[in-house]
Structure 1
Amino acid sequence: MRIAVTGSSGKLGRATIERLTADGHSVLGLDLNPAPHGGLFTRVDFTDYGQTLDTLLGVTARHSGLDAVVHLAAIPVNGLVPDATTFHNNMTVSFNVLFAAHRAGIRRIVSASSITAMGFPFEEPPPALPVDESYTAANNTYGLTKVLEETLAGQLVRWDPELSITALRFTNIVAPEDYGTFARAGEPTYRRDLLGSYIDARDGGLAVALALANGKPGLEVYNIAAPESGNSIPSAELAERWFPGTPVADDLGEFESLMSTRKAQQQLGFRAEHAWRDEYRPEG
């Protein structure tokens, strides 16, 4: 496929391009800054709808038509800029990309959603554990844009019965050099706001590839995390410590992530290839 990846210079963007290129796709990176890995790249300001539409329709010496768009571009977390700026930027960028893709006749889209669309930082208990895709709640402006982006996608697929949009609710993305933080895996508060979850950037790229390969008309939402938590404390013990009284699945695995990935495993065949227990190397 001919695929454009927005936010190509980010941690997940770089891993996604590497994965899609290795799978034999023709990939074009789109961002404000090129990624260090090189490859085909076009500089685009996605807050400008004209630039966005023109880029998805065609770019001389880059492409004359696309089969799919992977939308990852965003201000990545709250706090980097004022809250209103996070909201206005991310909502505008996502509308421009999704609507321009629709106008350009691109019918296969994978878009980055987030654990922030399902209750992060979980100051109030979720309805049940592990938390699945049926629960939607935003508790900050970044999460609010993710909830609204999923809503936007759900309406766009109504307009075009052939349009496929897959929203991937990524949790904290970990690069190979980030595994030093797992020295804290035995601390009871470690990754509490993330339900103990994480995802290796390379496995994030794998999830994108699977979503592109398996996308069907309509909107589907999947949680994307490692199947086991980033904690060395059993998950049932963490559930009771973090959310006392919250219902817990009878078949919860000993170290299963409290951010459920069962749907992605069953429907996409997603199996993370990198686990912190294998990747973490204690100092000394």
Structure 2
Amino acid sequence: MSAAPEGGRVAVTGAGGGLGRVVVADLAAHGWSVLALDRTPPPGWSGDFVAVDLTDYGQVLEVLSGGTDERGPRVDAVVHLAAVPSAGLMPNAATFANNAPATYNVFQAARQAGIDNVVWASSETLLGIPFDTPPPYVPLDEEYRVRPESTYSLVKALEEEMAHHFCRWNPDLTMTGLRFSNVMSVDKYAAFPSFDADVASRQWNLWGYIDARDGAQAVRLSLQRAESGVEVFIIANADTVMSRSSADLVAEVFPGVEVRKELAPHETLLSIDKARRVLGYEPRHSWRGEVGFPPADL
């Protein structure tokens, strides 16, 4: 198949979330016709919007197939970001009952509507977060079996498995899962220098993060991926949230963990090598420049 062209029609679920609102603005700025989907509109969004309950398959099929009055035509691609966004916000069964059916409905409705380009938010949590059991090695990559440690991440594991089978059923389908690190907006960066006081405060995800603007870049590049089949990518920033060196952090907190390469001083421990190689992804925004810290030594 060929990638959906910039300027095509794309539906974005979870458009009102912290990442979703940045994604819809970024895609619109790059020539996409965006149909925003959520319970409430993204702040400041003046484009097409439909309030939709993603746990209701009929609603999802209608909006993706262009059946909603004045909100057609059928879309060319889907970006699925909607979810209860992390563990512990709702009882476990409620998290599962929302997130798993919503993703199935999006995947299946896209299939029924003939949409063959789907990008969805997977999660760094599949890597074994919160690392009460140490990581198998660093930097972490996409090559080892997922290790969900919560109901939220269990659903993410099921989503990746579903995607494999949807692509098996339809060899022309392209599905791209983005294992986003902890999504950050600029207003959160003022707190980052305080993390140095307690190295354990951010060890739960190996001191990683992703600027929402770079998350949006990864979504846009994923929509241009031309190869059929499913691929998953870790999406993190190139640096960590710490001013201390990455090697020192690993040595102190995870002394028995294998370090598989020589680490640059502030290099991420969530490898983005695959995203760089396949998607052309390159983070452009760091917390350091926002709070007057020296640039990361990478």
AA at the equivalent of 2:65: L
| Structure 2 residue aligned with 1:88 | 97
| Structure 1 residue aligned with 2:136 | 127
| Structure 2 residue aligned with 1:222 | 233
| Structure 2 residue aligned with 1:77 | 86
| Structure 2 residue aligned with 1:114 | 123
What is the distance in 2 between the residues matched to 1:57 and 1:124?
44
What is the distance in 2 between the residues matched to 1:215 and 1:82?
39
| Structure 1 residue aligned with 2:21 | 14
| Structure 2 residue aligned with 1:51 | 59
| Structure 1 residue aligned with 2:224 | 213
Deviation at 1:77, TM superposition (A): 1.1
Give structure 1 regions of 4+ aligned residues with deviation exceeding 3 angstroms.
none
| Structure 1 residue aligned with 2:196 | 186
In the alignment, does 2:155 pair up with 1:148? no
What is the distance in 2 between the residues matched to 1:161 and 1:200?
33
What is the distance in 2 between the residues matched to 1:16 and 1:211?
12
Deviation at 1:250, TM superposition (A): 2.5
| Structure 2 residue aligned with 1:99 | 108
Contact 2:210 2:237 in 1 (8 A): yes
| Structure 1 residue aligned with 2:5 | none
Deviation at 1:140, TM superposition (A): 0.4
Deviation at 1:215, TM superposition (A): 4.3
Relative to 1, partners in 2 of residues 1:281 and 1:250: Cα closer, same or farther, differing over 3 Å?
closer
What is the distance in 1 between the residues matched to 2:28 and 2:190?
28
Relative to 1, partners in 2 of residues 1:74 and 1:66: Cα closer, same or farther, differing over 3 Å?
same
| Structure 1 residue aligned with 2:3 | none
Seq. identity, %: 45
Number of aligned pairs?
282
CA offsets 1:223-275 (integer angstroms, 9 cap, x no match): 00001111111111111222111110223222111111111111111111110
TM-score scaled by length of structure 1? 0.96
What is the distance in 1 between the residues matched to 2:226 and 2:85?
25
Contact 2:130 2:149 in 1 (8 A): yes
| Structure 2 residue aligned with 1:235 | 246
In the alignment, does 2:271 pair up with 1:264? no
What is the distance in 2 between the residues matched to 1:223 and 1:49?
29
Given the alignment, which residue of 34, 42, 50 partners 1:42? 50
Contact 1:166 1:215 in 2 (8 A): no
What is the distance in 1 between the residues matched to 2:195 and 2:215?
21
| Structure 2 residue aligned with 1:202 | 213
Deviation at 1:185, TM superposition (A): 3.7
Deviates more, 1:64-73 or 1:208-217: 208-217
Deviation at 1:84, TM superposition (A): 0.9
SS of alignment partner, residue 113 of structure 1 = strand
Given the alignment, which residue of 31, 34, 39 partners 1:24? 31
SS of alignment partner, residue 258 of structure 2 = coil
SS of alignment partner, residue 189 of structure 1 = helix
SS of alignment partner, residue 219 of structure 1 = strand
| Structure 1 residue aligned with 2:284 | 273
Given the alignment, which residue of 59, 76, 82 partners 1:67? 76
SS of alignment partner, residue 281 of structure 2 = coil
CA root-mean-square deviation: 1.2
CA offsets 1:147-195 (integer angstroms, 9 cap, x no match): 1100000110000000000000001100111112202242322421111
AA at the equivalent of 1:205: A
